[in-house]
Structure 1
Amino acid sequence: MTVFPTETLHSSLRGLSIWWQVLFPALFPFFVISELLLGIGIVHFFGKLLDPLMRPLFRLPGIGGFVITMGYISGYPVGARLTAQLWEQRLVNRAEGERLVAFTTTSDPIFLIGAVSIGFFQNVALAPVLAAAHYGGGLIIGLLMRFHDRHAPPSSVDKNRAVAGEARKRRPSRIAEALKAMHDARLLDGRGLGRLLQDAIQSALKLMIVVGGLVVFFSVVMEMLTHAGIVEAMIEALRYLFNAIGLPEKLADAGIYGLFEVTLGARAAGTAGTGLMHQAAIAAWVLSWGGISVHAQIASLLSKTDMRYRPLMLARLLHGFIAMALVYLLWGWMAP
């Protein structure tokens, strides 16, 4: 930073611009809305409705269905944020939280379609292939993660399922039970709508400052590694590997940039010029891995819980390779 002060300043401003112009307007409303929905009890409502589906498929309580929906719609790191909140309220335990974070850490559709398919590849017809590979790979990870920490006890929510089963005859319907769960959660929260909105905005702003700081930090780190020649050395090493396994060497740039930051990696994939199929495959890997910058954001969100980072890292790595393989498998049917 002392040797390259101008580049340091420009990279900081670039990271700040990405945060202010892209991430803040995209993520801040979702953070506020998620806080409000938790306080109102909507999350508990959907938890009761989705419990019969979530438990056999993913070994998760039904409340995880809300996190999956929000995570896939709004992108990383919203899934991790919601999971941490559920853990704080003791609605999921460590094993369930780790399973949930592992496959709700995905790109949002707006970024996948607008930025990657249209902006970087200039080919909107590529979006269905990328979406099928990326989100399909995420669901596969969810199914695989049901075997994670198999001997962990279920959360307290699920310990009551047997009691709930005995009382099923007295319940008018699952909808009525879900409404009651929402009402009970609202009473337990106890905050008025004005206080709830104020707390939601304050919490979302604190989180956005953390996200912005990490984006600026990794923007500077990438710039310094590039000027120090470390990035180029890593690219050269990856080129040898790609050449050995039959992949175009030019994709190594996207692989290394995507290792650190998803936007840089996706942009490099779109301009690699090695053939659309291979470029789409490496873009799917970049989107599914998420970049160390996103990993740092998620790790900061999980730092106040007992959830571990290692299962997330392994799941992201596996998700990247699954998504990459799905692009090649689906290309014959969905090629743009």
Structure 2
Amino acid sequence: MKRNLAGIGIVILFAIMLISPKAVFNGASEGLLLWFQIILPTLFPFIIITNLLVCTDSIHYISGAVGAVLKKIFKVSDNGSFAIITGFLCGYPMGAKVTADLIGSSYVSEDEGRYLLSFCNNTSPVFILNFIVWKTLGKEELIAPSLLILLGTPMLMSFFFRRFYLKGRKQFSGLKEAGHTKANWNFKIVDTCIMDSFETITKVGGYIILFSVILELVRSAPFEFPFITYLLPTLEVTNGIALLGKSALPFDMQYCAILALTSFGGICAVAQTQCMIQKTSLSILPYTLEKLATAVVTSLIAFLYLHFT
């Protein structure tokens, strides 16, 4: 049944694309420019370096520096602290990719991986500052609260999510200790990491282009469905934030909606995350529900900030 529905949906999308070539071209162009001008230069170097850190067993240098603090706060292993750092600083879908890599390399257990995925796959601070605060909102006074809300809420939610994954344990333990495997530095490792990084960034770009095309097709339709129009920003986070910023909503509703969407990441980010974790046993459904819950709490905190400060 699901396969039939998916097939029918794809056929309908194909037919719409055939009769709307201009919208397809515009959507693909916007998605490609977004990927080439923003995602590629900001994300690709971090994908390469995180691949190198994992492949050369060098994550212990970072986890050793901050792992003691993160272990006490989030109850993760030393190796798990590396996913927290990358997930909060590098942007979507690096938290998911690093978590999957740590599981695949036997640095963390699958239970710890599920816990890490629940709160470590987030928008980067650079994106929050540049695109949300400066470009979309244009209010520099919102820099500190936006950063605190968007980075602090997933941390807060982790205290609730951990109850489902610790299963009576006080803390997660790593499956193996980083830094004990002798890594031979050679160009073969570098080549492998670069090719893996190209595959990852290409998949991310493909999803961005696909969802940008769908978004443009809906926007260019000769008729409107109010329900679909309201859900349109959730397709892709960057375009969605721009749509919300240009909408006629009052500023307080705009701000809460933009922060909620940023916290969730959009359906495109969910698809990217599924792509990153598909070689593990991690499930996309719990992740999606956890991100939606985090988005609701984010919007509530943003509302309280605007009305009580």
TM-score by length of 1: 0.79
CA deviation after TM superposition for structure 1 residue 198, in Å: 1.6
**Taking structure 1 as reference, are residues 129 and 223 closer, same or farther at Cα in structure 2, changes over 3 Å only?**
same
Structure 2 unaligned blocks of 5 or more: 1-16
- In structure 2, the partner of 1:234 is 227
**1:4-23 alpha-carbon deviations (Å, 9 max, x no partner):** 11211221121111111111
What is the CA–CA distance in structure 1 between the aligned matches of 2:179 and 2:296, rounded to whole Å?
43
CA deviation after TM superposition for structure 1 residue 257, in Å: 3.0
Aligned counterpart in structure 2 of residue 98 of structure 1, from 88, 97, 114: 114
**1:89-148 alpha-carbon deviations (Å, 9 max, x no partner):** 112222211111121111111111111111111222222221111111110122111112
Q: Which moved more, 1:110-119 or 1:44-53?
A: 44-53
Q: Is the 8 A contact 2:257 2:299 kept in 1?
A: yes
What is the CA–CA distance in structure 2 between the aligned matches of 1:82 and 1:4, rounded to whole Å?
38
Query: Once superposed, what is the RMSD of the aligned Cα atoms?
Result: 2.4
SS of the equivalent of 1:91 reads coil
CA deviation after TM superposition for structure 1 residue 156, in Å: 6.5
CA deviation after TM superposition for structure 1 residue 258, in Å: 2.9
- In structure 2, the partner of 1:292 is 267
SS of the equivalent of 2:167 reads coil
What is the CA–CA distance in structure 1 between the aligned matches of 2:204 and 2:83, rounded to whole Å?
19
CA deviation after TM superposition for structure 1 residue 196, in Å: 2.3
**Taking structure 1 as reference, are residues 211 and 30 closer, same or farther at Cα in structure 2, changes over 3 Å only?**
same
- In structure 1, the partner of 2:180 is 184
What is the CA–CA distance in structure 1 between the aligned matches of 2:134 and 2:115, rounded to whole Å?
32
Aligned counterpart in structure 2 of residue 310 of structure 1, from 274, 282, 285: 285
**1:278-303 alpha-carbon deviations (Å, 9 max, x no partner):** 22111110100100001100101111
- In structure 2, the partner of 1:222 is 215
What is the CA–CA distance in structure 2 between the aligned matches of 1:294 and 1:275, rounded to whole Å?
27
What is the CA–CA distance in structure 1 between the aligned matches of 2:186 and 2:143, rounded to whole Å?
40
What is the CA–CA distance in structure 1 between the aligned matches of 2:210 and 2:228, rounded to whole Å?
22
Aligned counterpart in structure 2 of residue 78 of structure 1, from 83, 89, 94: 94
Q: Is the 8 A contact 1:80 1:301 kept in 2?
A: yes
What is the CA–CA distance in structure 2 between the aligned matches of 1:49 and 1:263, rounded to whole Å?
33
- The equivalences for 1:44-193 within 5 A come to 44-47=60-63, 52-151=68-167, 157=174, 183-185=179-181, 187=182, 190-193=183-186
Aligned counterpart in structure 2 of residue 209 of structure 1, from 202, 208, 214: 202
**1:211-258 alpha-carbon deviations (Å, 9 max, x no partner):** 11111111112223334478733256xxxxxxxxxxxxxxx4xxx233
TM-score by length of 2: 0.86
The code of the aligned residue for 1:86 comes to: L
Q: Is the 8 A contact 2:122 2:263 kept in 1?
A: yes
CA deviation after TM superposition for structure 1 residue 209, in Å: 1.0
What is the CA–CA distance in structure 1 between the aligned matches of 2:78 and 2:66, rounded to whole Å?
4
SS of the equivalent of 1:137 reads helix
What is the CA–CA distance in structure 1 between the aligned matches of 2:246 and 2:146, rounded to whole Å?
16
Aligned counterpart in structure 2 of residue 34 of structure 1, from 50, 53, 60: 50
**Taking structure 1 as reference, are residues 231 and 104 closer, same or farther at Cα in structure 2, changes over 3 Å only?**
farther
CA deviation after TM superposition for structure 1 residue 275, in Å: 3.5
The code of the aligned residue for 1:309 comes to: I
Matched-pair identity in % = 23
**Taking structure 1 as reference, are residues 229 and 134 closer, same or farther at Cα in structure 2, changes over 3 Å only?**
farther
Greater Rg over alpha carbons, structure: 1
- In structure 2, the partner of 1:175 is none
Structure 1 unaligned blocks of 5 or more: 161-180, 237-251
**Taking structure 1 as reference, are residues 149 and 68 closer, same or farther at Cα in structure 2, changes over 3 Å only?**
closer
- In structure 2, the partner of 1:265 is 240
CA deviation after TM superposition for structure 1 residue 38, in Å: 1.7
Q: Is the 8 A contact 1:90 1:156 kept in 2?
A: no
Q: Is the 8 A contact 1:91 1:156 kept in 2?
A: no
What is the CA–CA distance in structure 1 between the aligned matches of 2:223 and 2:161, rounded to whole Å?
35
The code of the aligned residue for 1:216 comes to: I
- The equivalences for 1:240-279 within 5 A come to 252=230, 256-279=231-254
Q: Is the 8 A contact 1:88 1:305 kept in 2?
A: yes
The code of the aligned residue for 2:136 comes to: F
